[in-house]
Chains A and B, each alone.
Chain A
């Protein structure tokens, strides 16, 4: 790889061999090597998503491990954490091992299963957390995402229990009684549209409770898809008190606001909902400041019929892997709030650290695993279905102009994307088999 610009702004050649970065410097060459001209392109460490819905097993009409892995690679990701709300739920060692091994077999990205906190996501009894942690999938992140662990005692026990394995509970913060039937951020707009409101306090109250629980038992808490300015204040307060809490924001909550719901286009229906413009601005500032630690996609594929209907009948969620980097660039890089070095942190090293995923702590050093992505930040594209590579097309960005383009993605030294095109499935799988 010739003349790539690293996140710190320096320029170098990279020689990748046997899955690792073998040499750094200028004028590197190796007989028989594939040469990628990276002149003018930005190199980033392989992106790590802490929040992906791959839908397999159980909802293969929406996404599979393979299709989701391809969508991830196309978006510059080399690792994804697969949420537990499959069918059967990922609440036993068997399910998480199956998902992890499918990921390994396809080879586009490292698939790290997330284990359910409660059996069947029912919020009643703990799932087989120990068995999942000790399985070949070595699960470290546990979440009932899609549902909130609303029972305070169960949440306390889960936080305590996962410390045994250095694990973390990733909470979908949504007080269920305050959000019954909720459709859209509660406020003037939801009242005008006649859509049941999803009040900010339903998120903030759970986060406030959970940071206190985490403090009480000395455990690690991760807050999924934080969406309100008030939540930022709660997390800021908790961090100032030394509580072990990390927080994520999605690309869509950094770019889109509730006004997009005006035409009842269900592509903009997501949980937590799009919030006010002032929330969007607060989230951007919190990411720049470090109160919010990471960006995670909450990639949530749904079949066409789940969105071709009235708003309140539609499913919650948007696909986001393929667009994530472009959206983040538009929201916080092009606005001058984060540099590419920050992006490397919030989309790679920090999510890997939270998920206890090895190999991402020292990118672009000799001997490090070769997980990287190469982007052209100067490109602009009208985002279309041709840029989506999963099974579903429920993207809120279709028809919108977005900056940046992934030119190449390398996972364990294997090119999964070259010249902006996904490499064929057989080729990637064959490399993995070797």
Chain B
């Protein structure tokens, strides 16, 4: 079966590999429905969650995933550790290496940090990118694809791609690692992507990406996309003159109740969280039957179990394939 040395970027995944990860995540999701939702396949392995940037959601999701697979977990968070005192990536990871870890889950504010770590030789462990600056967030891209596939194909999801799915991603594309991972992975899986946001928040050179883009959300919704993914808008963007103020942003690019009402009943509404209710997404939209926001969170654990399993299986001594893992 598929093996991964690291997971740094979804661009390293071809369609076959991506589909096999999603399929494995289906198996992992089945584990969660057992009486004892654990699969001790990574017993004896150590996963280090190295979070140079705060992210409670992603950290908890990786922790839960590692623990369900029986791995030991070390978590180093920015706050209250040597990391917050300016210790370098090199020193921190060498310390981890000296303690003997098998995988590093890295969240870092600098784009490319996971790649630098994987190429550095400072540590021999598998590296999983849990978000690097404004570059990528591969497991988010995978969990989003998984969520879309599940919503579209239900019990027949295994083996399916996203061929023909039409996805509209709305908001701060420029600063979004989630958008980047979605763009590349959705393209690999056969979906088409349309990006919408203020011109200031669409990246320079986006015409070179495998997407269409525009600034008019209403026009984009007229096209009846299958998925509408709203991105979080950070308030500091206003200070850098990306848009005038929150009211104008919400009016032009927010998924408000009027826009929600125009969506087809089976349109998927997604958001990577945390949400700014009332800004990029209304409560009505976030809590509607179309919303898959909580499914995204649930599926995140399954995806991260699959990724941890793939980077750690075969690379060491104690990994064994558990029952139900037929992928």
Interface set of A (CB-CB < 8 Å, partner B): 183, 186-197, 199, 263-266, 305, 308-313
State the CA gap A187–B209 with chains docked (Å). 11
Task: For residue B120, give the distance in angstroms from its CB to the closest CB of chain A.
Answer: 8
Is the CB–CB distance between B133 and A264 below 8 Å? no
Is the CB–CB distance between A310 and B108 below 8 Å? yes
Is the CB–CB distance between B88 and A194 below 8 Å? no
State the CA gap A311–B88 with chains docked (Å). 13
Interface set of B (CB-CB < 8 Å, partner A): 88-90, 108, 110-113, 115-116, 119-120, 132-136, 174, 177, 180, 203-209
Is the CB–CB distance between B112 and A191 below 8 Å? no
Known: A192-B180, A194-B135. A311 touches B205 (CB 8 A): no
Is the CB–CB distance between A312 and B204 below 8 Å? no
Q: Which of A188, A193, A263 contacts B111 (CB 8 A)?
A: A193
* Set of chain A residues within 8 Å of B116, measured between Cβ atoms: 264, 266, 309-311
Is the CB–CB distance between B111 and A187 below 8 Å? no
Q: Which of A193, A195, A305 contacts B88 (CB 8 A)?
A: A305
Task: For residue B167, give the distance in angstroms from its CB to the closest CB of chain A.
Answer: 19
Is the CB–CB distance between A187 and B89 below 8 Å? no
Is the CB–CB distance between B204 and A194 below 8 Å? no
Q: Which of A187, A310, A312 has the most CB of B within 10 A?
A: A310
Is the CB–CB distance between B132 and A194 below 8 Å? yes
* Set of chain A residues within 8 Å of B110, measured between Cβ atoms: 309-313
State the CA gap A188–B207 with chains docked (Å). 8
Known: A191-B205, A305-B88. A310 touches B119 (CB 8 A): no
Residue of B with least CB distance to A196: B134
Residue of A with least CB distance to B112: A264
* Set of chain B residues within 8 Å of A265, measured between Cβ atoms: 119
* Set of chain A residues within 8 Å of B180, measured between Cβ atoms: 192, 194
Task: For residue A302, give the distance in angstroms from its CB to the closest CB of chain B.
Answer: 15
* Set of chain A residues within 8 Å of B205, measured between Cβ atoms: 186-192
State the CA gap A78–B177 with chains docked (Å). 49
Known: A193-B111, A194-B135. A309 touches B88 (CB 8 A): yes
Is the CB–CB distance between B113 and A194 below 8 Å? no
Task: For residue A182, give the distance in angstroms from its CB to the closest CB of chain B.
Answer: 12
State the CA gap A313–B203 with chains docked (Å). 22
Is the CB–CB distance between A193 and B204 below 8 Å? no
Residue of A with least CB distance to B177: A194
Is the CB–CB distance between A194 and B134 below 8 Å? yes
26 contacts between A and B (CB under 8 A): A188-B205, A188-B207, A191-B205, A192-B205, A193-B135, A194-B112, A194-B134, A194-B180, A195-B133, A195-B135, A196-B134, A263-B115, A264-B111, A264-B116, A265-B119, A305-B88, A305-B90, A308-B90, A309-B89, A310-B110, A310-B111, A310-B112, A311-B112, A312-B111, A312-B112, A312-B133
7 more CB-based (< 8 A) A-B contacts, given A192-B205, A195-B134: A190-B205, A192-B209, A194-B180, A263-B115, A310-B89, A311-B111, A313-B110
State the CA gap A399–B177 with chains docked (Å). 33
- Minimum-distance CB pairs A-B, first 9: A188-B205, A264-B112, A194-B135, A310-B110, A191-B203, A194-B134, A188-B208, A194-B111, A310-B113
* Set of chain B residues within 8 Å of A310, measured between Cβ atoms: 89, 108, 110-113, 116, 133
Residue of A with least CB distance to B88: A309
Q: Which of A197, A263, A313 contacts B204 (CB 8 A)?
A: A197
Task: For residue B48, give the distance in angstroms from its CB to the closest CB of chain A.
Answer: 18
Task: For residue B265, give the distance in angstroms from its CB to the closest CB of chain A.
Answer: 35
Residue of A with least CB distance to B202: A191
Residue of A with least CB distance to B180: A194
Is the CB–CB distance between B177 and A188 below 8 Å? no
State the CA gap A183–B109 with chains docked (Å). 14
